[in-house]
Chain A
């Protein structure tokens, strides 16, 4: 059993699911977006704040409830996003989405995705892809709003 299960629950994911970087009070400024997975009830609110006067992400914070995959992916995203421009953030969300839709194929770009490459294994579990995408989809909506 452990082989397949461990490829889903990489230690990085289990650690992030517990550490929950970026979880907590949402800062007042910036864009906010709520996402919900109606099949399991997982939900998340992501707030992205920019360095004033720039298009560079100052912080990405979130609040949510869900499985370890959805919470860990939000935690990883909170590490990845700060310092990126909105365009760079959208490129990373795109790369993450491509990886999550890969069904385990190819090699993810760890320079681009950092710890998020740990979710490559999740892409083989089709029913969990949405869990992994939840925070990233919310962040993408924030980026679109902030760029407008």
Chain B
């Protein structure tokens, strides 16, 4: 395991012991930990502003996974040989590390393939409970026709489509909290929808399109007052800010490894111990059973009950390293850094003629991203134009078609930041966007593409 000892990770930055937002120097030092960010794209230094889709990985994470694969790789929870024992230990230590990040206990942390998989695990577990699986303890998850599942209009498809399916197979009704013209919703909007028939409330902690931070405290109070479960899509929060599941008081929480400096192919479902203990499994097969006969099987307790089949072991080890990297920097500082960048983004973009930022208006808290519309220019063209300057942004509907429909646009352009994003990256984006309308002849456009730029 020599490679891991050579990677200082973010320690140089962390030892400055300063608090508050990262300085430009600190962000630049962190950036140097990420080999991918050192390259040029289109002949320009890469300005990577697509971390909301997938984050890059520091050398420490890459090295941790490689070191595990070179020295320890083995099947976990089986086999008597030395490496199998070491791999199992590393796998379970990784679970402890993630649990520590969340303020949870390790048996509440379930490895999944990604956040989508984690949300499906809950939805399909509830469907199975509705069909009588899981016996008496699982009855608390059973839905009856007319029961209500509440989402918002702003959800990512991953936190919408599984609930559509659950409603379809149980006869439950899917209801959506309305958003305003900026894509913003409030606790009052949630209170208008959450009611006595509500059984599940599934919302994003932070919107991947608007950056809106959900009023979780109020939603939890409303939901728990009517006995409903709260499922939090934390894909855009856990990587970017301190998240404590006990303080949030939610019931389930899902996120992905690849959005938080870790690998693809691994995600996390956290659930309250008593809930995970009662929820029927979604996937079944090897590794999740105790006794199997030809007719039936008995299952292991959580979390193994939800981890059928071969597990993403090296990915778990690498994700734990990513967690340590983030903790060394301090997620509170990451959050402050990104909020400062977001303010520059929103202020700067809003000052460009013909550019409209969606989401919370300036002055209202948002996480470190900004999605915007350029009058008369389609998001795809905006993205292509920026790419030619080495600036990577996301374009399209960001897996949130209902929200875009509500905003009256088919697509937006999104710039999303992370701890390695510098003020220089943001400045380059602003210069780039300022040139878009002239390039496409939209600053004197008489015909803007339908669905774009109407306001």
Residues of chain A at the chain B interface (Cβ within 8 Å) = 1-2, 4-5, 8-9, 14, 17-20, 39-43, 63-69, 71, 125, 128, 131
Contacts and interface: CB of A to CB of B under 8 A. Distances in A.
B385 A41 contact: no
A125 B404 contact: no
- The 4 A-B residue pairs with the shortest CB-CB distance, nearest first, are A67-B380, A67-B378, A5-B388, A1-B388
Interface of B: 42-44, 377-381, 384-385, 388-389, 395-397, 401, 404, 410-411, 439-441, 445-447, 449-452
Contact of A18 (B388, B389, B441): B441
A128 B43 contact: no
B451 A125 contact: no
Given A40-B380, A65-B450, A128-B384, A1 B42 contact: yes
A1 B384 contact: no
A79 to B, nearest CB: 16
Given A1-B43, A18-B447, A68 B395 contact: no
A34 to B, nearest CB: 15
Contact of A65 (B381, B385, B389, B452): B452
29 contacts: A1-B388, A4-B388, A8-B384, A9-B381, A17-B440, A18-B441, A18-B445, A18-B446, A40-B380, A40-B396, A40-B397, A40-B410, A41-B401, A41-B404, A42-B380, A42-B410, A65-B410, A65-B449, A65-B450, A65-B451, A66-B380, A66-B410, A66-B449, A67-B379, A68-B381, A69-B381, A71-B378, A71-B449, A125-B384
A67 B411 CA distance: 10
Contacts of B452: 65
A8 B42 CA distance: 14
A66 B448 CA distance: 11
B389 A1 contact: yes
Contacts of A40: 379-380, 395-397, 410-411
Contact of A131 (B380, B445, B446, B449): B380
B156 to A, nearest CB: 15
Contacts of A19: 447
A8 B383 CA distance: 13
A9 B447 CA distance: 18
B178 to A, nearest CB: 21
Nearest to A71: B449
Contacts of A63: 450
Contacts of B404: 41
A73 to B, nearest CB: 13
A131 B42 CA distance: 21
A67 B396 contact: no
A40 B397 CA distance: 7
B44 A1 contact: yes
Contacts of B44: 1
A19 B440 CA distance: 12
A41 B395 CA distance: 11
B378 A68 contact: yes
Residue among B380, B385, B389, B445 having the largest count of chain A Cβ atoms under 10 Å = B380
Contact of A5 (B379, B385, B447): B385
Given A1-B43, A18-B445, A41-B396, A66 B378 contact: yes
